[in-house]
Amino acid sequence: MTQPNSIEEHLDRQAPTVFIMPAVLVVLCFSIFPLIVSLFVALSRLKFVKGGIEAKYIGFLNFKKLLFGSQQYHFLGKFDQLTTTGYVIMSVFVILILVWFYRYFKSINFSLVGTIGRFVVATGLFFLLMLTLINLTTPKGLPGTLVVTLTYVILGVIFQFLIGLGLALLCVKKIRGRSFFRMVFFIPMMITPVGIAYLFRMLTDMTKGPFAPVVMWLGFEETSWAVIPWGARIAVMIGDAWQWIPFMFIILLAGLESLPTEQKEAAIMDGAGSWQIFRDITWPTLLPVSVTIILIRLIEAFKIIDLPNVMTNGGPGIATESLSLHSYFNWRTMDLSGSAAVGYLLMVVAVFICLSFVSLVKKRIEIAQQ
């Protein structure tokens, strides 16, 4: 064996750095600067003067306005007393949390940091749940952009995942035209989001859209989906689902197709029914990839903006306005600090939900897999 050239060897030793540094540097530089500047902007009031922008530091006033002040109805929604069902749900939730803590205290990995982390997660989830219940289930409560976004994200992702999974399960069997279906199902993802928004605006128009005759035939011509808050929200979610189900479908399909069939056939020999096969063989294998795409989709879903913007411009009232849209409306009138404040709150909520999801679900899977 010849002695390797010292330069080559040196380079090879630096390989770990060389491989990862470009990505890390690019993302770091590109993300840190806007992150900091946005934080400054969120903490100040901007004024355009000759020669540039004048920033006056005002502390957390912008955030106060959103959480407690004049924009509270916009961000948090309108409050009302919880109904009895609401109290019941909250109590069940609290009990579950207590059980969770109890199990944690009894486990081996007990630590102070872990407790604090779990406490934060529990508190956060508690408040979000209460807010959602107050906004959506009480007679006079109305959701603000926070709860509307959560609805889009959670309901949307669940719905998209289930349908994507269903389609993938159907497509994995040996049916003719599989490739055709795969190609066709992939199409919605290729259209630009702005285009999809206008497309759905066209499709859902009550006078000139293609479904107008159907609506008339059903007798609904006196009302319009755009006037009913939940109708409008569902329309937005349908558009979102249409666009993103292909993403779930394609990746779940790949996961399913990589499943070795011998396991399944052995299970059938042993007399297992198809539900049991799904539960014990298919689902565990799909679990990791499901978690990955759900996480990716969660992150992207928080930023939903084009659909509510084009279809209803955030209406009726503020029923379909998402956090990102709220931020955009502020920004459009050059209220940069208000826009940045909403953006930061969005980031906090999204990070919270994603982290909770990751730590609660992903960890458990990885442990189970080992």
Nearer to another protein, 90 or 316 (CB): 316
CB of 69 to another protein, least distance (A): 9
* 344: DSSP letter: H
For another protein, give the closer residue by CB, 91 or 223.
Answer: 223
88 or 210: CB nearest another protein: 210
Q: How far is the CB of 82 from another protein (least distance, A)?
A: 20
Cβ atoms of 147 and 136 closer than 8 Å: yes
User: Which has the closest alpha carbon to 264: 250, 283, 249, 240?
Assistant: 283
CB-based burial label for 155 (10 Å; 0-12, 13-18, 19+):
middle
Q: Angle at which helices 15-42 and 336-357 pack, to 10 degrees?
A: 130
Least gap, CB of 66 to another protein (angstroms) = 13
CB nearer to another protein: pick between 95 and 254: 254
Least distance to another protein, CB of residue 246, Å = 8
In the complex, the smallest distance separating the C-beta of residue 130 from another protein, rounded to whole angstroms, is: 21
Cβ-based nearer residue to another protein, 93 or 357: 357
Which is nearer to another protein, 92 or 194 (by Cβ)? 194
Cα 356–358–363 angle (5° rounding)?
A: 115
Distances (CA, A) of 104 to 91, 116, 127, 356: 20, 12, 21, 16
Q: How far apart are alpha carbons 294 and 291 in whole angstroms?
A: 5
3-state secondary structure 175-227: CCCHHHHHHHHHHHHHCCHHHHHHHHHHHCCCCCCCCHHHHHHHCCCCCCCCC
Tell me whether residue 88 or residue 254 sits nearer to another protein (CB atom): 254
In angstroms, the CA 352 to CA 142 distance is: 23
User: Rounded distance, CA 282 to CA 280, Å?
Assistant: 6
